[in-house]
Amino acid sequence: MLIRQQKTKRKSLTVLHRKHSVVSRNICVHTKPLKPTDVVYMPDQYVQRSRSSESLMKLLYPEHFHLLRGNHETDNMNQMYGFEGEVKAKYTAQMFQLFSEVFQWLPLAQCINSKVLVMHGGLFSEDGVTLDDIRKIDRNRQPPDSGPMCDLLWSDPQPQDGRSISKRGVSCQFGPDVTERFLEQNKLQYIVRSHEVKAEGYEVTHSGKCITVFSAPNYCDQMGNKGAYIHLRGSDLKPEFHQFTAVPHPNVKPMAYANSLMQLGMM
C-alpha cells in the first residue's frame, strides 16, 4: 500500500521534514514523553548531511512515526552524495544493499483523514492521477525517470498556472490550477510537501492548498534559514506552524566513539 490512510482521533498530528532534535523538543513540549502524538516525516536524506536519526524514533514508536520516502532515498542519490561510499567503507556492500531495500519499502505518500496528502516532492506531470493510482504504484524499486512515482519524489510547485520544466532536470513544476484540479478530483483539502529550503521554514502557496515545510534550520550550516514543523489540529486539520532556529551542533567529532584502530583506518 502506497498511501497509508492515517485516521487519528488524537488532538494533533505533526508533519515535518527532518531533524531528530525537533522531534525530541516536540515530544517534550507538547506531549508526555511516552505518548507522543503522531508524526509524519517526508525527509530529504535520512542518512546524508544529518547527524541524527529519525529511524530510531520509528523503532521506538512504530505506531506513531510514519516515515515517507524522499528523492534521496534512492541508489543514484546515495551514490552521488556519499552514503553508499560511507556504508561500504565502514561496513560492507551487503549492508548498503539492506539500506537500499529498506528505502524501497518506504511509502511515497501519506493521506491524513482523507483530507491532507503528504509527500516529499509534489504533484504530477499529468492531470487525472487519483489516490488509487498512487496506491497501485509498485514502490519496491528504484524510481523511474518520469511518471507518478518520479513526480511524488521530485516535483516542485510554481506560482503561475500550468506546468513548466523543472530546474532540477527531473519531473516538473506545477501551478495552482494543477493543485486545485488534483484536490478537487480526490476530494482533498491541501497537500504538504518539503524538498525545498525556505527562509521562514515553511511557505504557504496556491491559496493555502500547497504547503512546503522544511525542518532543517541553517541548512548545511550555511543557509541561515529557520526550520518549521506543522501541527494539524482538530477535525478540520487546520495547519498550525511552529518555527525554530538552529542551535550549535553537539561538540562531538564524527566517529568520536569508534574503535581507535578504526579511526586510524586500520580496520
- Helix/strand/coil for 57: helix
**Closest distance to Mn ion from the beta carbon of 172 (Å):** 15
Cα of 8 vs its chain's centroid, Å: 20
Question: How many other CB atoms sit within 10 Å of the CB of residue 82?
Answer: 14
Amino acid at the residue 104: Q
**Closest distance to Mn ion from the beta carbon of 205 (Å):** 17
Q: What is residue 207's DSSP assignment?
A: G
The answer to whether 72 is a known catalytic residue is yes
**Contact flag: residue 158 with Mn ion (CB under 5 A):** no
How many residues of this chain interact with Mn ion, rule: CB under 5 A? 3
Instruction: Identify which of residues 36 and 157 has a Cβ nearer to Mn ion in the complex.
Output: 157
- Helix/strand/coil for 29: helix
**Residue carrying the nine cell digits 490512510:** 5
For residue 211, the cross-strand partners are 192, 204
Stretch that binds Mn ion, among 35-43, 79-87, 156-164, 191-199 (CB under 5 A): 191-199
Of 71, 110, 158, 179, the one binding Mn ion by CB under 5 A: 71
CB distance 220 to 146 below 8 Å: no
Instruction: Identify which of residues 54 and 64 has a Cβ nearer to Mn ion in the complex.
Output: 54
Stretch that binds Mn ion, among 37-45, 144-152, 214-222, 257-265 (CB under 5 A): 37-45
**Closest distance to Mn ion from the beta carbon of 28 (Å):** 28
The count of residues in the chain is: 267
Q: What is the number of alpha carbons within 13 Å of residue 114 lying toward its C-beta?
A: 4
CB distance 111 to 131 below 8 Å: yes
**Closest distance to Mn ion from the beta carbon of 63 (Å):** 26
**Contact flag: residue 44 with Mn ion (CB under 5 A):** yes
Instruction: Identify which of residues 225 and 237 has a Cβ nearer to Mn ion in the complex.
Output: 225
**Contact flag: residue 195 with Mn ion (CB under 5 A):** yes
Stretch that binds Mn ion, among 87-95, 142-150, 195-203, 245-253 (CB under 5 A): 195-203
CB distance 217 to 224 below 8 Å: no
Q: Which of 64, 72, 195, 206 is catalytic?
A: 72
Give the footprint of Mn ion on this chain (CB under 5 A): 44, 71, 195
Active site residue ranges: 72
